[in-house]
Amino acid sequence: MPAVPTDNAAAWDRHSAGYQAGAKLSTEVAHYGPDIGTEADYRLLGELKGKRVLELGCGGGQCSIAFAKHGATAIGIDFSAEQLAFARRLVEREGVKVELRQGDLADLAFLRADSIDAAFSAFAFGFVDDLNRVFRQVHRVLKVGAPLVFSLPHPAYDMIDDDDPDQPLLVRRSYFDRSPIDYEWNGVPFTDYHHTISDLYMGLVRASYRVDVILEPEPTPSGPRSPDWREAFRHVPRTLIVRVRKEGN
């Protein structure tokens, strides 16, 4: 019998308070993942002033707030009520305007076609099984030529087990194994979905995007480490960043 996948929305509701207390994410600049550079380093989104920017899986709203501070009209969507409650409090404290929506990333019916100047997502797509459906929905709402920039767990990282820093890094799981990955994060059960680089690339091309950037950032050489830091980050890429642009409808 196939394993019943975890309800990731309920998992995020349970995990939100602990995650936000540990992550302490900046609201000045958009981030892409643990212990790597930020949008200030990679500059993948371009000028945001006056643009309508959609954040997919906005969580606590930090990146959307940064977009608003840079002059964008920011819209964030997330399916976790607790993450959005945190985001609402943060938006109010920071004194900016961000439209926050509760819903699934594949449910963008509230947005008009060809109405978004840039779409962004940091570490949310790994929780999505049918990512091609999300790519199609985002394609509908983007203007022609507009970018979708996203980060997600690098599929090579799924092959290893980084729990014990004293154990040698061994391949524990096949790169070609597309079955869901069940795990616990601070005692909360989650399910991740493994998207290989060729699966992502082919899904994006079939949804009529042109892929123009793929980054596999090395960890920042020094400085304070995130709560997620592992020595394994020095050897196996933890984060994959992709920028694509919408081709014609």
Question: Are 150 and 121 contacting, i.e. CB atoms less than 8 angstroms apart?
Answer: yes
Task: Compare residues 169 and 180 and give the one whose CB is closer to ligand SAM.
Answer: 180
Nearest approach, Cβ of residue 180 and ligand SAM (Å):
13
Residue whose pair of structure tokens reads 């399916």 in the numeric block:
79
Does 54 engage in binding with ligand SAM (CB under 6 A)?
no
At residue 63, φ and ψ (nearest 5 deg) are -70, -40
**Taking the complex as a whole, how short is the minimal distance between the CB of residue 168 and ligand SAM, in angstroms?**
28
Q: Which stretch binds ligand SAM (CB under 6 A): 74-82, 152-160, 181-189, 241-249?
A: 74-82
Burial class (CB in 10 A: 0-12, 13-18, 19+), 228: middle
Contact between 78 and ligand SAM per CB under 6 A: yes
Q: How many residues bind ligand SAM (CB under 6 A)?
A: 18
Contact mark string toward ligand SAM, 4..23, x via CB under 6 A: ----x---x-----------
Told to check if 122 binds ligand SAM by CB under 6 A, we report yes
Closest to ligand SAM by CB, 123 or 233:
123
Closest listed residue to residue 245, CA positions, set 144, 103, 127, 141: 144
E-strand ranges in the chain read 52-56, 73-78, 98-102, 118-122, 147-153, 181-185, 188-192, 209-215, 239-246
- Binding of ligand SAM at residue 128 (CB under 6 A)? yes
* Segment interacting with ligand SAM (CB under 6 A) among 118-126, 155-163, 184-192, 227-235: 118-126
Q: Left (φ > 0), alpha (ψ -120 to 50) or beta: where does 80 sit?
A: beta
Interaction of residue 28 with ligand SAM, rule CB under 6 A = no
**How buried is 66 (Cβ within 10 angstroms: 0-12 exposed, 13-18 middle, 19+ buried)?**
buried
Residues found near ligand SAM in the complex (CB under 6 A): 8, 12, 25, 57-60, 78-80, 83, 104-105, 122-124, 127-128
